[in-house]
Chain A
Amino acid sequence: GAVVSQHPSWVICKSGTSVKIECRSLDFQATTMFWYRQFPKQSLMLMATSNEGSKATYEQGVEKDKFLINHASLTLSTLTVTSAHPEDSSFYICSANPGQAFSTDTQYFGPGTRLTVL
């Protein structure tokens, strides 16, 4: 149990275009999902907390107009990188928290999406 998928697993796009990344919890419902960014050989940087049916909460320094998050259902959250630039190239990872449904009350992670902006 506690499987989280991400799509696509990798994407290459031109500068100025927008890219959408999907995060799905496959076998549980998640009222809260999280989006992280990870640079090479570094830890995870939390970008935002995605809450089903309400606006996302962004961490300090993360541009909400740049990184649009939608949590339309209890199993799907999307991150759209708008007007992408090369500095947005990174590894984006989502996670989902099943709450008290699982004893660990922790986050389960997707496999990540490698974004390369040319």
Chain B
Amino acid sequence: GEDVEQSLFLSVREGDSSVINCTYTDSSSTYLYWYKQEPGAGLQLLTYIFSNMDMKQDQRLTVLLNKKDKHLSLRIADTQTGDSAIYFCAAPRGSSNTGKLIFGQGTTLQVKP
């Protein structure tokens, strides 16, 4: 079945770049998404990339997609303490018409001052 995998924890110093990695199994995914969850809150859509793109940049965020390896990454430049959160990678589950998403386990990003 479909699966999305992420590393569980990343610790960086303030001002450094953070790179969060994700692998997925369903090659038919049209969009791939990154969500951010702060403690006690819901998920906030951070960014997304269409499957025919290799890279997307949005201010401090850069998404890289390697379709051959089914690998997605999120790079946060100049990481700030406010970036500390859990980051989820998500892909459409099954047929994209269902609207269902499958989520990775989430990567906890810890930013040290």
Contacts and interface: CB of A to CB of B under 8 A. Distances in A.
Contact of B105 (A34, A43, A112): A43
A99 B99 CA distance: 8
Contacts of A107: 45, 99, 101
Nearest to A91: B40
A97 B44 CA distance: 13
Interface in B84-113: 88, 90, 96, 98-101, 103-106
Interface string B37-72: 000111111001000000000000000000000000
B42 A43 contact: no
Nearest to B43: A109
B33 A109 contact: no
B96 A105 contact: yes
Contacts, number: 56
A32 interface: yes
Majority DSSP secondary structure for residues of A touching B: strand
Contacts of B45: 2, 104, 106-109
Contacts of A32: 99
Contact of B42 (A93, A97, A106): A93
Nearest to B99: A97
Contacts of B88: 43-44
A95 B99 CA distance: 11
Interface string A80-118: 000000000000010101010000111111111010000
Contacts of A108: 45
A77 interface: no
A49 interface: yes
A106 B43 contact: no
Contact of B48 (A6, A99, A106, A112): A106
A54 interface: no
A46 interface: yes
Given A43-B104, A112-B42, 7 more contacts: A34-B100, A43-B103, A43-B105, A93-B43, A106-B90, A107-B99, A112-B40
Interface of A: 2, 4, 6, 32, 34, 42-44, 46, 49, 93, 95, 97, 99, 104-112, 114
